[in-house]
Chains A and B, each alone.
Chain A
Amino acid sequence: MGYIIESLRQIAGAEPSRPEKDRISARALEVHLHKKANPFSKAEFEEIYAVHGKGRTKWRNRRWATLLAVNLLFVVSYFFDIQILEGALTASRFVGFHMADLNSALQVMLAYKHLVLNLVIGTVTVFIIWVLLGGRTFCAWVCPYHLISELTEKLHLWLTERKLVSDHRFDRRARTLFYLLFALLALGTGYTVFETISPTGILSRALIYGPGIALLWVGLVLLIEIFYSRRAWCRYVCPIGVTYGVVGTLSPIRVKYNVKHCHHEGDCRKVCLVPHVLSMTIKGRATNFDMDIGADCTRCGMCVDICPTDSLDFVLGYGKKSQ
């Protein structure tokens, strides 16, 4: 329950709560005190980095392969008329079974104000799938905008390193505001307003049905991300992320953090799209020996890849303990 509440708080845009001293479990406290008494030496750091060569890409490779496979299946299915995955990411049919993107379905239902049976079937199917697979896993493992934005992010980081641009942060609560705003706009105007500017829908349709001028909008958002604010769309705007984040609070697939060997050097938070979910990796913040990363996490696995001490890993199950 604490996990769900803290996850929802963070999805809404609140800063991660700082634990009171007396909330830290005995076992975690023991680790904290031990580390305080025996700080890591520089040599130890270097040894660890040498063993776990940085730049592991295991999860990234798996993720990119999955993302490309899903999106190309749409394309191939239409191009060769093999009818495996028809439609686009907003709504589709997988070997005949209805699927509907939760956020698109929500927008349509708010705008149209009718419950359509096929849409309900598709929405429930997709809801169950993403509860099982991790909620915001959709973002990192399926959304085509995520992949492109990930690539342009490298350019942004390259430019920031050279002090040519700097990252301007927004208030994370903006995303919640957008979520409510677009829901109200759909309800009030009777049009699916968000769908008009959603890069996910635009890109998915462009891939399958051919490019159009809507891609200029996606390009503009990418330019803003490169020159002004890192991953701005996913971090501060996209309501799809909120929808799937909420679904993910129920998911058994999580990234787990174990405090024991962590060096608290913060590499994980530097690569993360949503670094607030990793606040427990800051020195002295972990309240438990093992902790589940909150549901705003896209399960992209970049922190798992980069962690030099294997303190972060995927688990299946709720609140699993390590030996």
Chain B
Amino acid sequence: MKEKTTVAKRVKKPLSAKRKAQSRREFLRTSVLAVGMTGFSLLGFLPVVQGTSLRLRPPGALKRTDDEKEFLSSCIKCGQCVQVCPVQAIKLADLEEGFGVGTPYIDAREQACDFSCDGLQCVLACPTGSLNHALNFPADTRMGFARLSRPSACLAIQGKGFQGQARGPQFPGLLRYDEVDRWNPIPVADHPYDLELCDLCVRQCPIEIRITQCAEKKVQASGEKVARVAEQVGNECPPVHAIALERVEMPNGELRMSPVIKEGCVGCGVCEMICPPEPPAIVIDIHKITDLT
């Protein structure tokens, strides 16, 4: 009986001592590889847990201020949003962001999102809806909220005007100036200002610009046909102001003109980019969005 089974089954030769040692080493090596590789990939957790991967994200990002989990998980890290942005505001995060590697962010001081694409091209380009397709208009965006971080540096508060290039001749940042070219953004350096009182953050705010345009349209109020679908829908006119220059009482009791951030601020970062002092007097706070719904 015993003999029969050995004939029927292929006899497995016992391994030599050398082969045994080899396969033991291979097993150990493989275990080290498995642990090492998994461990390294999980290091990506650190920046996420510590919150250092938090960034100003493009319009429509699936996030709630400090919680970017949904955004990081749904983003496929392809950079199609980067490619469509007319002002190249969007960059891709590097490995120091851990799980956020390859996700899009905006460095507002370098190049803010000025909505010069009008149609939110990055949202349309996103293949996973990580930039939420439910978003239709710039005014509905919730990227962050502007904050007057250094009032003492603010030219308006100091009662100063501004002459020249907002960020100096070397600054490569772009903005769309409707009065110069409706379709193509130009370098901020090519558009010098001459202002009695500095109001750049208010003057260049894309939401404020849109509100002014809508108001002018209303004044014209003729039977003129509007070209853009967005205007026909009528939702594109922002419902609330984002920023205004108002007379504000200073701590010492003096009355000064100062930028005041309003409910309509979407956190696009143009004010931070255009603000002449270094570092800027106004920045985008990514930990906050407007209470407006």
Binding site for B on A (CB under 8 A): 20, 78, 81, 86-93, 98, 100, 104-105, 108, 111-112, 114, 116, 118-119, 122, 168-171, 173-174, 177-178, 181-182, 185-186, 189-197, 201-202, 205, 208-209, 212-214, 216-217, 232, 236-237
Max chain B C-beta neighbours (<10 A), residue from A174, A191, A205: A191
9 contacts between A and B (CB under 8 A): A86-B125, A88-B77, A91-B80, A181-B34, A192-B72, A195-B77, A202-B101, A202-B102, A214-B94
CB-nearest residue of chain A relative to B72?
A191
Q: Give the complex CA separation of A3 and B67 in angstroms.
A: 48
User: Which A residues touch B127, using CB under 8 A?
Assistant: 87, 91, 93, 98, 100, 116, 118-119, 122
A25 to chain B, nearest CB (A): 20
Any A CB within 8 A of the CB of B41: yes
Q: Give the complex CA separation of A195 and B91 in angstroms.
A: 17
Whether B101 contacts A174 by the Cβ 8 Å rule is no
Q: Give the complex CA separation of A83 and B67 in angstroms.
A: 33
Whether A108 contacts B79 by the Cβ 8 Å rule is no
Also in contact, A189 and B45, with CB within 8 A (given A118-B128, A171-B30): yes
Q: Give the complex CA separation of A173 and B27 in angstroms.
A: 11
Q: Give the complex CA separation of A178 and B129 in angstroms.
A: 28
B104 to chain A, nearest CB (A): 10
CB-nearest residue of chain B relative to A110?
B73
Q: Give the complex CA separation of A212 and B79 in angstroms.
A: 14
Whether A90 contacts B76 by the Cβ 8 Å rule is yes
| Complex interface residues of chain B between 205 and 251 (CB less than 8 A to chain A) | none
CB < 8 Å neighbour of A208 from B79, B95, B96, B125 = B79
Any A CB within 8 A of the CB of B48: yes
CB < 8 Å neighbour of A191 from B73, B102, B128 = B73
CB < 8 Å neighbour of A196 from B75, B91, B99 = B99
Report the count of interface residues on B (CB-CB < 8 A): 42
Whether A196 contacts B41 by the Cβ 8 Å rule is yes
Any A CB within 8 A of the CB of B29: yes
Any A CB within 8 A of the CB of B83: yes
Any A CB within 8 A of the CB of B185: no
Q: Give the complex CA separation of A40 and B34 in angstroms.
A: 44
Whether B76 contacts A170 by the Cβ 8 Å rule is no
CB-nearest residue of chain B relative to A220?
B40
Whether A196 contacts B44 by the Cβ 8 Å rule is yes
CB < 8 Å neighbour of A237 from B37, B98, B129 = B37
Whether A104 contacts B34 by the Cβ 8 Å rule is no
User: Which B residues touch A111, using CB under 8 A?
Assistant: 73-74
Q: Give the complex CA separation of A217 and B94 in angstroms.
A: 11
Whether A78 contacts B83 by the Cβ 8 Å rule is yes
CB < 8 Å neighbour of A116 from B34, B38, B72, B129 = B129
CB < 8 Å neighbour of B77 from A90, A119, A212, A232 = A90
Whether B80 contacts A92 by the Cβ 8 Å rule is yes
Whether B101 contacts A196 by the Cβ 8 Å rule is yes
Also in contact, A87 and B129, with CB within 8 A (given A174-B34, A214-B94): no
Q: Give the complex CA separation of A111 and B30 in angstroms.
A: 27
Max chain B C-beta neighbours (<10 A), residue from A98, A173, A177: A177
User: Which A residues touch B27, using CB under 8 A?
Assistant: 171
Whether B101 contacts A168 by the Cβ 8 Å rule is no
User: Which B residues touch A173, using CB under 8 A?
Assistant: 30
User: Which B residues touch A169, using CB under 8 A?
Assistant: 26, 29
Whether A116 contacts B83 by the Cβ 8 Å rule is no
Also in contact, A104 and B76, with CB within 8 A (given A170-B26, A213-B95): yes
Any A CB within 8 A of the CB of B42: yes
User: Which A residues touch B48, using CB under 8 A?
Assistant: 191
Any A CB within 8 A of the CB of B78: yes
| Complex interface residues of chain B between 69 and 97 (CB less than 8 A to chain A) | 69-70, 72-80, 82-84, 91-92, 94-96
Whether B101 contacts A209 by the Cβ 8 Å rule is no
Q: Give the complex CA separation of A128 and B161 in angstroms.
A: 63
Whether B30 contacts A170 by the Cβ 8 Å rule is yes
CB < 8 Å neighbour of A93 from B34, B75, B80 = B80
A83 to chain B, nearest CB (A): 8
User: Which A residues touch B80, using CB under 8 A?
Assistant: 86-87, 91-93
A173 to chain B, nearest CB (A): 8
Q: Give the complex CA separation of A123 and B290 in angstroms.
A: 37
User: Which B residues touch A93, using CB under 8 A?
Assistant: 80, 125, 127
User: Which B residues touch A170, using CB under 8 A?
Assistant: 26, 29-30, 33
User: Which B residues touch A122, using CB under 8 A?
Assistant: 127
The 5 closest A-B pairs by CB, nearest first: A91-B78, A111-B73, A214-B95, A212-B94, A196-B44
User: Which A residues touch B129, using CB under 8 A?
Assistant: 116, 118
CB < 8 Å neighbour of A108 from B26, B38, B76 = B76
CB < 8 Å neighbour of A177 from B34, B74, B75, B125 = B34
User: Which A residues touch B72, using CB under 8 A?
Assistant: 191-192
CB-nearest residue of chain B relative to A101?
B76
A120 to chain B, nearest CB (A): 10
Also in contact, A108 and B73, with CB within 8 A (given A88-B79, A91-B127, A202-B101): yes
A183 to chain B, nearest CB (A): 13
Whether A178 contacts B37 by the Cβ 8 Å rule is yes
User: Which B residues touch A236, using CB under 8 A?
Assistant: 30, 33
User: Which A residues touch B101, using CB under 8 A?
Assistant: 195-196, 202, 214
